[in-house]
Copies of this chain bind each other. A is one copy, B any other.
């Protein structure tokens, strides 16, 4: 049975019990070597006995550091969809772990919070020492403003190469290029692109799609690029639409996310179209379910572990006066059944 602590203890209580001043107690607790080892030991013992914990608020006020990072998840105003995206959650977990590891707390903003002015709310008010911004961002002018305001922050997304703030993200263009080249090498001739190119990351994927087509001397057909939100439902509906529109000679689909791909797959199978024999399919993200749908989904895997860690490391470096650099992370093609058909050399 735990002893019920009568009331929250303060540093001054501990100091009194140990028979030392508050300053000595404070230093002893932080293991400051200027304090005699025995004194330190004694104070620490007393603090432990009484389950004393430093008041984080008071410490923050005095030291002017919150030791807290705000993670802001941008979301699409149309679909309201963000925090439920499996991929985002993956990287969120990594960030949480890494922040903890570095001794920081994580303040998570919800979609609604995002309506506020983050700088004021999180930084000016001293709630957080820095910001990590995640989102399949359409270009957001709020992010630009941050960089003019001296707020330490990093962004997960698509680095165009010339933004004034650090961006960490996967090499989306390369990933898409891998995916589409793979489809081409499997004999696909007409490949649709499902994804909303108004999002900068998706735009990069579309560029990679074009790269691959061009390398195979195929002209990209604008009609085959179909803006599609990040949901399985959108993928499903969009694919039905495509079928309805008689784009019947389609033999490949590259979806900008696995969720979209699964929606597309559903639509294809429902119409009796064989995957991958008639239409081969590749997604992006490698979410947990991709390996377990039928047929399993070929996809492009992002290195969320490296990404999350890098975001944290770069941000903390920036906070501690250093520089934070943008970085492009390599991706990997995971071949599964949805694109597995006899290898045909393209003409």
Question: Residues on A close to B: CB < 8 A?
Answer: 1-2, 4-5, 8, 51-58, 60-61, 66, 68, 82-84, 86, 89-90, 92-93, 96-97, 99-101, 105-113, 120-121, 124-127, 145, 148-150, 231-233, 236, 259, 262-263, 265-266, 269-270, 288-289, 291-294, 296
Contacts and interface: CB of A to CB of B under 8 A. Distances in A.
A340 to B, nearest CB: 14
Query: For the complex formed by this chain, how many copies does it contain in all?
Result: 2
A92 B82 CA distance: 12
A260 B126 CA distance: 43
A62 to B, nearest CB: 9
A242 to B, nearest CB: 16
Given A51-B120, A107-B108, A294-B294, 13 more contacts: A4-B148, A53-B125, A55-B61, A84-B89, A86-B86, A96-B110, A96-B111, A106-B107, A106-B110, A232-B292, A266-B293, A266-B294, A269-B294
A111 to B, nearest CB: 6
A149 B4 CA distance: 6
Nearest to A294: B269
Given A106-B107, A148-B2, A125 B266 contact: no
Contact of A108 (B8, B108, B150, B294): B108
Nearest to A263: B292
A84 B263 contact: no
17 contacts: A4-B149, A8-B124, A51-B120, A53-B120, A57-B60, A84-B86, A84-B90, A86-B288, A89-B89, A96-B108, A96-B111, A97-B112, A105-B127, A108-B108, A262-B293, A266-B292, A293-B293
Given A120-B53, A266-B294, A288-B84, A112 B108 contact: no
Contacts of A99: 110
A126 B56 contact: yes
Contacts of A55: 61, 125-126
B112 A101 contact: yes
A2 to B, nearest CB: 6
Contacts of A265: 292, 294
A55 B65 CA distance: 12
Nearest to A268: B294
